[in-house]
Amino acid sequence: MLKIIDKYIIGKFLGTFFFMLGIIMFFAVVFDVSEKLSEFIDNEAPFSEIVFKYYVNFVLFYGNMFSSMIIFISVIWFTAKMAQETEIIPIWFSGRPITRFIRPYIVGATILMILSLILNHFIIPRANKVRLDFEEKYYRDRMHVEEYHAEFPNNEVVYFSSYGGEDNLINDFVVEKWGKDKKITNFLKARTASNVKGTNRWILTDYYERRVGYPNDELIEKQKKDTIFQFTIEDMAQRDNIAEAMTFSQLTRHIDRESKKGSSKIPFFEIELHQRTSYPFAAYILTIIGVAVSSQKKRGGIGINIAIGLGIVFIYIFVMKVATVASIKVGFPAVIAVWIPNFIFTFVALAVYRFSQK
């Protein structure tokens, strides 16, 4: 049962968080507009799409991405202010343990953690799809891929020299099929190839095909061919942030397909998958550290608490980036790389928490 003091702290917690979130996102939008406005004007992006398809989803994505950090700063801000105004002193003199004082903070962190989990797994991926489609149309350069090579299921190998998103055209397209005895059974090469959007249908031009079959091979040469492949252009030409627009089930299926192809981008996708759960849970750790750091009245005022808090945030981000790079470059398991900053800072939180009890 929540007491008056619990409701007061939870209200302060959530109010400060959403206020800071609004201020930070306001400045983020202002800076983003100043950077991209000329591109929007040159590409004649409609105002309604800029607002509702881009910036609404922009705020959702980046606001949720940095929510744990904003939670931390919010906790430090309003708790330090309470300490400076001697609102916390009566709680200490009441004889109640610090665990009782920290309970409303955990309730507030739980509310924000659940909200972040829902956004990460159900809302943000769909919002990102709209945002990225808008960027593709009005802001970003079109997709280009050079010297592609990958192996698809059923022993099918695909090569091409280049792909341009402007005309959706592949140059020097090659598809090889290999048998179980590791001998080639079919070889196809086309000067150009284009994928009919949203389907597995392909249009080949100036193509040559050799169907290997002892004792007689079959050779086919034609100017144009309409055919079906097991892959689409989206399986081959992808931006690094394509995973941001995939739901949990889509992303797990995508990782499975990329694993079969031997893609080098698998760590990026696995990190994205695990971060959607690990980041929200950081709210608990950073909340406990924030309370422990800022609940004591300091001679230097609120500024000292904020400086300590920012230092801890920077260290957390540094550890997170080091673990991510280790996963991508060294092959460190993605699930461990994503969760290890939380484990490390759990011990930091416990140490700071025990120190604050004194």
Per-residue model confidence as pLDDT tens digits over 271-289 = 888 888 888 998 998 898 8
% residues pLDDT > 70 (the chain): 89
Q: Is residue 302's pLDDT more than 80?
A: no
Q: Read off the pLDDT band of 214 (50, 70, 90).
A: low
Q: Are residues 210 and 312 in the same domain?
A: no
Contact (Cβ atoms closer than 8 angstroms) between residue 120 and residue 65: no
**What is the number of domains present in the chain?**
2
Q: Is residue 87's pLDDT more than 80?
A: no
Last residue of a domain, one of 218, 237, 256: 237
pLDDT at 146: 80
DSSP 3-state assignment of 226? Answer: strand
Helices H / strands E in the chain, number of each: 11, 6
Last residue of a domain, one of 198, 221, 237: 237
One DSSP character per residue, 322-336 reads HHHHIIIII---HHH
Beta bridge partners of 173: 190
Q: Which of 40-54, 305-319, 328-342 has the highest mean pLDDT?
A: 40-54
Say which range, 68-72, 92-96, 263-267, 292-296, has the weakest mean pLDDT: 92-96
Q: Which of 328, 178, 171 is nearest to 236 (CA)?
A: 171
Last residue of a domain, one of 196, 221, 237: 237
Q: Are residues 276 and 127 in the same domain?
A: yes
Q: Are residues 37 and 130 in the same domain?
A: yes
The verdict on residue 244 lying in a domain is no
Q: Is the N-terminal amide bond of 215 cis, ω within 30° of 0?
A: yes
**Cα separations in angstroms, 247 against 8, 254, 319:** 37, 10, 27
The Cα 327–Cα 320 span in angstroms is 11
Query: Between 23 and 240, where is the model more confident?
Result: 23
pLDDT at 249: 85
Contact (Cβ atoms closer than 8 angstroms) between residue 174 and residue 188: yes
pLDDT at 299: 62
Q: Is residue 8's pLDDT more than 80?
A: yes
pLDDT at 181: 76
Q: Are residues 172 and 117 in the same domain?
A: no
Domain that holds residue 198: 144-237
DSSP 3-state assignment of 130? Answer: helix
The Cα 111–Cα 109 span in angstroms is 5
